[in-house]
Each structure stands twice: as C-alpha cells, then as structure tokens.
C-alpha cells in the first residue's frame, strides 16, 4: 500500500443551505503532483482553505504526515510543512526579490521581521535566497524591487517564498491565473523542475498545464469528488467529460 502524506477524509463545509464541499476524501502520495480540477463554483478554493487551515471544516478529518491536523490553525500547519502559495500574496513590493525570500528564511528560523535590518548583507540569508530564486527562474532578477516585477514573475517569487519555508507539501491555487502565454510557460517549467522533489496539490483551470504536470487528477463537481485517476484516464472518463471536460477544448 502506498504511503500517504496528506489524507483528507469526508470533509464538509456548508453555508446555510449551500453545501460547498460535500464528503470530500483525498489521499495525496509523497512526491506526486496532484491536480484538482472542476468548473467554477465546484468548491476547489474552499477545499484548499480547509486543507491549509484558513477555514474550519464542519466535519471530516485531515491527517498530515501521520498527524491529525484537523483543528490546527494555518500557522501551526505551516510550521509542520504544509505551505500555501498564490491565494494570498506575501510579497513586499518595496523590498527586492532577494530580500522577500530572505525574510521568509529568517521567519522560518524564528526571527521577527523587525530584526531584518541588515539581512540584505547576511550571507546566511542571501545565499539560500538566491538558490530559491534560481530554482524558480528569477536568479537574474534578485535585486529588482518586487513591485516592479511582472505578474508572472511575482507568481514565481511567491513560489520561491513558499519554498523558503522548507515545505513538505505545497498548495497552489491557480498559479497561472492572469499570466500571459510566455509567463505561463515559465511557471509550468518551474513546476516541472520541482516535481518529485516536493509534493504539490495544484488547482488550475489551464487544462494543458494540468495534463502536462499532474501525476494524478481529482475532479470536483458540486462539492464532490467524482473521479481520481491518472491524467490519461481522467481525459477518457465519460462522466468527467460530461460533467466538466466537455466544457473545455480538450483536443
């Protein structure tokens, strides 16, 4: 039996009469890139909120690295290696790309931001910060103020910041949203480089990106998972095509 890093069991979230996630169960394997797809309003972002700890579930259980984290707040889940990116930006526009990543490294070490002072001169921060920026393709942009980066570069910087927290699992909510064609290609290539080194849960509407990146895909429709399988089998699944993929251009 394949070990699971994240086990989501029967998660449910309702708002009055509206059920947003309905008995959702997932088993995420170590080292895989697991995509979650579905039409608008399917409950994908709510599910990410529940997994990350920004939203409390009405019922169900979340086990991460063998520990029940169902009732833990987001900060405690993050300290255990469950990192989230792209939903709420953590970029400081007045700081350089390198300084943004260095701050994340400093925070991981337990230091307060108010002690940042001379961090830009600290080799212990700058060297790993440059390594993370290089991993996401931003090494040549290290000294540029984050506010001057393009939208796609900011997405890459957010990913570098997430990597600097030393995560076991990354939750990525629509990393290609708002990016142009060339920027999208760069983000996809970055994720390809990170595959197998990290466990990643990806929510994304770009089906070309999903099917080129994912090891497995779960399809969420009206708050329920209707299928989980390899990209090839999901593409061929008649129920999935009827419920969702038929709406997309999948040629």
Q: What is the pLDDT of residues 75-99, one digit of tens each?
A: 899 889 998 875 445 689 999 999 9
Domain residues for the domain of 162 are 90-166
Q: Is-contact 201 48, C-beta < 8 A?
A: yes
Among residues 111, 131, 166, which one ends one of the domains?
166
Looking at the structure, tell me whether residues 95 and 208 fall in a common domain. Answer: no
Whole-model pTM: value is 0.88
Which parts of the chain have pLDDT scores under 70? 1-2, 86-90, 110-121, 245-251
Looking at the structure, tell me whether residues 181 and 251 fall in a common domain. Answer: yes
Q: What pLDDT, on the 0 to 100 scale, is given for residue 249?
A: 42
Among residues 166, 194, 217, which one ends one of the domains?
166
Looking at the structure, tell me whether residues 76 and 138 fall in a common domain. Answer: no
Q: What pLDDT, on the 0 to 100 scale, is given for residue 109?
A: 73
Q: What pLDDT, on the 0 to 100 scale, is given for residue 88?
A: 46
Number of domains into which the chain is organized: 2
Q: What pLDDT, on the 0 to 100 scale, is given for residue 85?
A: 77
Looking at the structure, tell me whether residues 236 and 205 fall in a common domain. Answer: yes
Looking at the structure, tell me whether residues 189 and 77 fall in a common domain. Answer: yes
Question: What CATH number is attached to the domain comprising 232?
Answer: 3.40.50.300
Looking at the structure, tell me whether residues 55 and 114 fall in a common domain. Answer: no
Nearest 5°: phi and psi at 178? 80, 0
Chain centroid to Cα 175, Å, comes to 8
Residue 162 neighbours by CB under 8 Å, 6+ apart = 83, 84, 85, 104, 170
Among residues 145, 166, 187, which one ends one of the domains?
166
Using one digit for the tens of pLDDT, what is the confidence trace for 58-73? 999 999 999 999 999 9
Looking at the structure, tell me whether residues 183 and 234 fall in a common domain. Answer: yes
- What is the three-class DSSP state of 169? strand
Tokens of 151: 């939208």
Looking at the structure, tell me whether residues 160 and 194 fall in a common domain. Answer: no
């Amino acid at each position: 039996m394949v070990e699971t890093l994240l086990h989501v069991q029967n998660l449910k979230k309702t708002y009055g009469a509206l059920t947003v996630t309905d008995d959702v169960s997932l088993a995420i394997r170590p080292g895989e890139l697991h995509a979650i797809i579905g039409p608008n309003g399917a409950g994908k972002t709510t599910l990410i909120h529940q997994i990350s700890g920004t939203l409390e579930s009405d019922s169900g259980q979340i086990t991460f690295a063998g520990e029940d984290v169902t009732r833990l707040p987001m900060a405690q889940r993050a300290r255990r290696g469950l990192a989230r990116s792209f939903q709420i930006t953590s970029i400081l526009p007045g700081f350089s790309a390198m300084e943004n990543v260095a701050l994340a490294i400093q925070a991981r070490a337990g230091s307060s931001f108010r002690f940042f002072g001379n961090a830009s001169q600290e080799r212990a921060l700058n060297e790993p910060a440059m390594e993370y920026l290089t991993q996401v393709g931003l090494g040549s942009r290290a000294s540029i103020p984050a506010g001057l980066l393009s939208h796609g570069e900011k997405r890459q910087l957010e990913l570098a910041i997430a990597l600097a927290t030393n995560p076991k699992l990354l939750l990525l909510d629509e990393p290609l949203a708002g990016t142009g064609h060339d920027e999208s290609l760069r983000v996809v290539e970055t994720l390809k480089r990170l595959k197998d080194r990290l466990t990643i849960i990806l929510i994304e509407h770009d089906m070309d990106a999903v099917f080129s990146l994912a090891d497995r895909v779960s399809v969420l429709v009206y708050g329920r998972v209707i299928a989980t399988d390899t990209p090839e089998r999901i593409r061929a699944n008649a129920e999935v095509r009827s419920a969702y993929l038929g709406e997309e251009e999948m040629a």
